[in-house]
């Protein structure tokens, strides 16, 4: 099947829906991400943002299509999606608490079996998050929330993803830490990494995003240009439809 997608599209999603048993958690969704874009997915609690991320990864049963650089991503095969370079930093970070920081990073590059390349990537991640360097031998469970989020992002970077999906990285963190993390994400994006950033706290990410989708009750309500949103109130208008 030949794709008609424009060559600059890194991710194109058509009619992607997901259901848990009889409950339709995500109504058919269309969205796309261009190479080098940072796309925000906004929406209130329960709008289906996490389901959308899990659906893209193939962690939940889905219908519809996900295309990566014009090629269909196999469904229900998160390992295959990860192999293509689609990597998710899940909600709640999903770090492996009983393992050390170093072991967590190693797991990020699980598909890699090359010591030199591994060392190079580790150095790169530690340069980006120097605080992790001091904590390498500590168990991940003993880190602070902010450090855990840095570890989760660092671990995802270990696989050198082509597109990074982040599910509510600000959850439970102090504003100062959130700023720091968002700043790192902006940096990564400027280096050319495509990113989908899921957030409930919209104002935080609108400064950063090239485009934004508004998700409400399991489907896309609107696609918005962040530059046109001037106030919080205006966004609330969108939420309420």
Partner 1 sequence: MNSFNTIWANGRGNLATWLLWGLAAVFVVYTFASGGYLIAVLQFALIYTVLVTGLNIFMGFTGQVSFGHNAFAAIGGYSSAVLTATYGWEPLPAGLVGLAGALLCALVIGYPVLRLRGHYLAMATLAIGLIVYEVAVQWQSVTQGYMGISGIAPIGIGRFTITSDRGLLVFLMIAAALALLSAAGIRRSRLGRAFVAAAGSEDAARALGIDVARYKLIAFMISAAYAAIAGSLFAHAVGFVSPEVFGLPMVVMSFTMLYVGGIGTIAGPALGAIIISVLPESFRTFKDYQDLAYGAALIVILIYAPRGLASLPELWARWRRRSA
Residues at the site binding partner 1, with contacts judged by CB under 8 A: 54, 57, 59, 78-79, 82-83, 87-88, 90, 93-100, 103, 106-108, 110-111, 137, 139, 155-156, 159
109: β partners: none
Nearer to partner 1, 109 or 209 (CB): 109
Nearer to partner 1, 139 or 210 (CB): 139
The nearest distance, CB 120 to partner 1, in angstroms, is: 18
- C-alpha to C-alpha distance for 131 and 156, rounded to whole angstroms: 16
Give the Cα-Cα-Cα angle 195, 200, 205 (nearest 5 degrees). Answer: 45
The nearest distance, CB 88 to partner 1, in angstroms, is: 4
The nearest distance, CB 147 to partner 1, in angstroms, is: 17
Closest CA to 121 of 135, 107, 134, 139: 107
Closest CA to 162 of 10, 3, 50, 30: 10
**CB of 181 closer than 8 Å to CB of 142:** no
Nearer to partner 1, 81 or 212 (CB): 81
- C-alpha to C-alpha distance for 105 and 95, rounded to whole angstroms: 10
Nearer to partner 1, 59 or 125 (CB): 59
The nearest distance, CB 38 to partner 1, in angstroms, is: 20
Q: Can you say whether residue 141 is alpha, beta or left, with left for phi > 0 and alpha for psi between -120 and 50 degrees?
A: alpha
The nearest distance, CB 116 to partner 1, in angstroms, is: 16
Nearer to partner 1, 90 or 226 (CB): 90
């Amino acid at each position: 099947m030949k794709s008609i997608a424009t060559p600059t599209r890194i991710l194109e999603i058509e009619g992607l829906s997901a259901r848990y048993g009889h409950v339709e958690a995500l109504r058919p969704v269309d969205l796309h991400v261009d190479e080098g874009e940072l796309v925000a997915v906004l929406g209130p609690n329960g709008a289906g943002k996490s389901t959308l991320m899990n659906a893209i990864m193939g962690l939940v049963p889905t219908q519809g299509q996900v295309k990566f650089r014009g090629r269909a991503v196999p469904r229900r095969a998160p390992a295959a999606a990860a192999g293509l370079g689609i990597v998710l930093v899940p909600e709640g970070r999903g770090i492996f608490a009983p393992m050390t920081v170093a072991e967590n990073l190693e797991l990020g590059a699980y598909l890699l079996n090359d010591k030199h390349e591994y060392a190079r990537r580790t150095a790169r991640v530690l340069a980006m998050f120097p605080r992790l360097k001091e904590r390498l031998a500590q168990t991940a469970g003993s880190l602070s929330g902010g450090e855990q989020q840095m570890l989760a992002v660092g671990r995802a970077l270990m696989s050198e993803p082509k597109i990074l999906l982040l599910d509510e990285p600000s959850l439970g963190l102090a504003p100062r830490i959130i700023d720091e993390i968002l700043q790192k994400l902006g940096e990564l994006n400027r280096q050319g990494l495509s990113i989908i950033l899921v957030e409930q706290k919209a104002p935080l990410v609108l400064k950063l995003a090239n485009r934004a989708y508004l998700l409400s009750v399991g489907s896309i309500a609107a696609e918005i240009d962040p530059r046109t949103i001037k106030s919080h109130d205006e966004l609330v208008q969108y939420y309420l439809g």
